[in-house]
Amino acid sequence: MQLSSKYTGTKLKPYKTAITQRQTTNYAAALGDALPCYLDDSREGGVIAHPVFPVAVTWPLCTNMGGDLEATDFPKEALLMQVHHTEHIRLHKPITPGLDLTIYGVVAAMLPHRAGTRIIMRYEAVDAEGEPVFTEHIGGMLRGVECEDQGASLEGVPKDFDGPKEQAPLQTGEVFASEVLPYIYDGCSDIVFPIHTSPAFAASVGLPGIIVQGTATLALSISKLLEMDGEAWPEEVLEIGCRFSGMVLPGSTITVRLLDKKAADNGMNYYFDVLGEAGKPALRNGLMVCKNQ
């Protein structure tokens, strides 16, 4: 199958949604993250959502992307070949219950890759006053789909970056991904896909069993980083990015490694990766940016 990058810039129908406290607290609960800022609505200012929560907000757009694209001739069967490749979230302000959001989606890039075609979707969420709340870039790999040209990209697509050179990590922390984690995350985030909850379906597509959702691995890693560092708080997270590079199986332990920590113009950059139980990378080129205190 071949695909042209002419679809870069194609918009999706706007999507409206309202953020509820049940959604934000459930997402934190799925991760076992009991920080008061996520759960205690008696605190001053109420609760905020976990920094990775935007992935749950945009999931309905991801699942109906083929139907919402304005280009009626887009070969929707190509989307069936898609796997989650990269994730990038920019938080313009903490997400709180009660927000009425409108999300605008666009095909931000289509690029050739040795494994197929990279498609990057941009989702921009604004509140009822039109103020930005978050911007998400989701990178998918269309396996076996050839990009028939040089590719194209809109302005503002996050650039790929390499993590720090191999060095001893500054800190490490372990997180156990329980046998029921994919089911809990599925139910609490409403991010539903059968490779995470149906052993029969997972086997039918050649997997050794169900696998933990990539966004769950990322969210668990961000929670662990905030816990390990102790100098950053969820309210201060400005940006998160990573590349998914391996499967995490339920019932295994992942190791979150803080590789480096550097001051930058917009705050403090935390570089990290995640290893699976066999020591193989599950997540590479991790970046968390927190505002200066």
Low-confidence ranges of the chain (pLDDT < 70): 293
Give the gyration radius of the chain's Cα atoms.
Answer: 19
Residue 76 makes CB contacts below 8 A (sequence gap 6+) with 66, 67, 69
179-182 CB contacts, 8 Å cutoff, 24+ apart: 179/250, 179/251, 180/250, 181/30, 181/212, 181/216, 181/250, 182/210, 182/211, 182/212, 182/213, 182/216, 182/250
Count of C-beta atoms within a 10 Å radius of residue 162: 8
The answer to whether residues 134 and 54 touch, using CB atoms and an 8 Å cutoff, is: yes
Compute the CA torsion angle 213, 215, 47, 228 (nearest 10 deg). 100
* pLDDT score of 172: 97
Q: Can you give the pTM of this predicted structure?
A: 0.94
DSSP for 59-76, written as a single string:
HHHHHTHHHHBS-TTS-G
Same fold, 2-153 and 171-291: yes
Q: Which residues are bridge partners to 91 per DSSP?
A: 134
Q: How far apart are CA 43 and CA 128, in angstroms?
A: 25
Confirm or reject CATH 3.10.129.10 for domain 171-291, answering yes or no.
yes
CATH code given to domain 2-153: 3.10.129.10
Q: Which residues are bridge partners to 275 per DSSP?
A: 255, 281
Taking CA 121 as the corner, what is the angle to CA 53 and CA 210, rounded to the nearest 5 degrees? 60
DSSP for 273-285, written as a single string:
EEE-TTS-EEEEE
* pLDDT score of 33: 97
**Residue bearing tokens 């070949």:** 81
* pLDDT score of 293: 59
Looking only at the bridges linking them, the beta strands covering 267-275 and 171-177 are unpaired
Query: What are the angstrom distances between the C-alpha of 258 and each of 172, 240, 250, 261?
Result: 6, 14, 23, 8
Q: What is the pLDDT of residues 163-218, one digit of tens each?
A: 777 778 999 999 999 999 999 999 999 999 999 999 999 998 888 999 999 999 99
Selection from 158, 129, 136, 121 nearest residue 53 by Cα: 136
* pLDDT score of 31: 97
Residue 161 makes CB contacts below 8 A (sequence gap 6+) with 241, 285, 287
Per-domain boundaries in the chain: 2-153, 171-291
